[in-house]
Amino acid sequence: MPKKNYAKKSQDVDEIQSIIGWKPPVFHQASECYVSVSAFDPSIGKMRIKKFMLGFIKGKRQQREYGAQLSKRLYKKLLEGWNPWIEVSKPEEYHRFDDVCSQYITYLKKLCKDGGIRKGSIDNYLGKLSFMRKWMQNGKIDVVYIYQFDKNVISKFLDYVFVERGVSIRTRNNYIGWLKSFSSYLLTRGYVQKDPTESIEKSKKAGPKGRSTIPDAILAKIRAYLEENNKFFLLACYLLHYLFIRPQEMVYIKIKDLSREKRTLTLDGTHTKNGHDAVVTIPCHVLDLMEELNIFSFQPDCYLFSKRFRPGKCQIKTAQLAYFWKTRIQGKLGFSNKYKFYSLKDTGITNMIKDNTDLLSVRDQARHSSVEITNMYTPISGSKANINIVNYKGVF
């Protein structure tokens, strides 16, 4: 008769218990009075009993009443993911997830205030964090304590974003980038012992950026409509289309940043995408529109775009530009939703190249780090044969 492998059976039990994690609290009142909790101790790899002594309470009735209340509280904590042994060995991991998120938000805002990160990046990070927390609430994802924010949760979230929401690979990559940044914040502060995104990588084949250039006919309609209804917003469109000023940069421009004599606009690196100061050229017809609108008569410290997109003391939000485009222009003229406000920038780069402006000039105006990036913003359909090469014939 073969011998039973009790060691193997014990090992199987330990593995099962590590998955279960805990047993409900039990009240004891014999030689000692206490409530016991059996929970998995990861430091030794086994279930272990934790006793909460109640000997300090006088009277058996009072002990039973207090023990019943304590058992309920402990049971609720266990359901939420609490573990008495992890709490003792790694207390940082037992901060509540919501509290850590609040600290993260405070940290980002301070970083932005001190110029360590752009406000646009902050808004992007906070938007992704808010979206993930709503997903957790709606999907009943139990992340009460920060240690529960693990690879499994992150993978489920990315699957939700990519599969159920149907976003592009590029957008999924953007979420992974933010999750890695957030995980780095947690790791350096001891909230997690291991980077939960360690084996989660971005896809190297993200595909081309989804950019739609606006046809000339639609551009002409937009210009005609704004010339009649809102020339100040037309100026905003010109800054995006000809100067390639991003909306999140545009809202920080002040009158003093414009030079009528030099025909230039100076951008403070605090608010630019790459964090560098920049000087871009103002085309003559854009400067003419500024003169027509008496832009240079306003106080130097006025924002170029304030209420109703006129110069003023109040700074507008980036979203107001896109909202006006969508509701007042796109809604009125009825062109496709694929032509966004930001499409003016991509269209401007494409049209400038198609007009045979040299790539180095376009690169500098767009503030790209290389000509290769400038080419990425230009669709293949915008390329045409070089007349100098068409007529070339060598000696061969």
Fold match flag (97-188 vs 216-382): no
Q: How many CB atoms lie within 10 A of CB 134?
A: 10
**Pairing relationship of beta strands 33-41 and 278-281 according to DSSP bridges:** unpaired
CA–CA dist 333, 337 (Å, integer): 11
Sorted by where each begins, the domain ranges of the chain are 6-89, 97-188, 216-382
For residue range 285-315, list pLDDT tens digits in order.
999 999 999 999 999 999 999 999 999 999 9
For residue range 136-184, list pLDDT tens digits in order.
999 878 888 887 899 999 999 999 999 998 888 989 999 999 999 999 9
CA–CA dist 101, 95 (Å, integer): 10
For residue range 319-361, list pLDDT tens digits in order.
999 999 999 999 899 999 889 999 999 899 888 888 877 777 8
Statement: residue 36 has pLDDT above 60: yes
Report the pLDDT averaged over residues 121-141. Answer: 91
Tokens (6 digits) for 160: 């939700």
CA–CA dist 94, 144 (Å, integer): 9
Top-level CATH class of 97-188? mainly alpha
Task: Identify the pLDDT of residue 364.
Answer: 78
| Confidence band of 385 (pLDDT split at 50, 70, 90) | low
CATH assignment of 216-382?
A: 1.10.443.10
Q: How many CB atoms lie within 10 A of CB 308?
A: 11
Helices marked H in 160-201: 169-188
Statement: residue 4 has pLDDT above 70: no
| Confidence band of 209 (pLDDT split at 50, 70, 90) | low
* Residues across the chain: 396
